[in-house]
Amino acid sequence: MAQQLAVAAERDIGVWIDRATRNAGMKVFCDKRTVEFTRFTYAPSASMTDAWKERKAAEWSATQCSSQIWSESIRGGWKIVLSQTAADGGHVSFTAQCAK
């Protein structure tokens, strides 16, 4: 199912999420039980402060855990990851965490 979603997500590459961030794709690694969403932001990595990271991690988890598909996957041992790369090459990753 995740691989079918990845094919559909290819159509969203380049779509802007907000004024500074765009979708960069989705990859499925069945052997690692991981789904990785990638995004690119024109904001500098210096803007990725600890407070920003905490807020983004909480938002990512809340969004994935409120989705029936992804929350079931997470409970089944899959990792749902957001990888975001800044214009200057800085990179952060967040793995959704749902309450058991």
**Does the predicted TM-score (pTM) go above 0.75?**
yes
Tell me the per-residue pLDDT of 66-95, one tens digit each, with 9 for 90 and over: 999 899 999 999 999 999 999 999 999 999
In the predicted structure, residue 14 carries a pLDDT above the cut 90: no
Write out the two tokens for 47.
């803007």
> Could you state, in order of their start, the residue ranges of all structural domains in the chain?
2-95
Give every CB contact of residue 67 below 8 A, 6+ residues apart in sequence: none
pLDDT band at 6 (very low <50, low <70, confident <90, very high): low
In the predicted structure, residue 65 carries a pLDDT above the cut 90: yes
Q: Regarding predicted confidence, which is higher, 10 or 53?
A: 53
Burial class (CB in 10 A: 0-12, 13-18, 19+), 45: middle
Stretch 15-35: mean pLDDT, rounded? 90
Tell whether domain 2-95 is in CATH 3.30.300.250.
yes
pLDDT band at 7 (very low <50, low <70, confident <90, very high): low
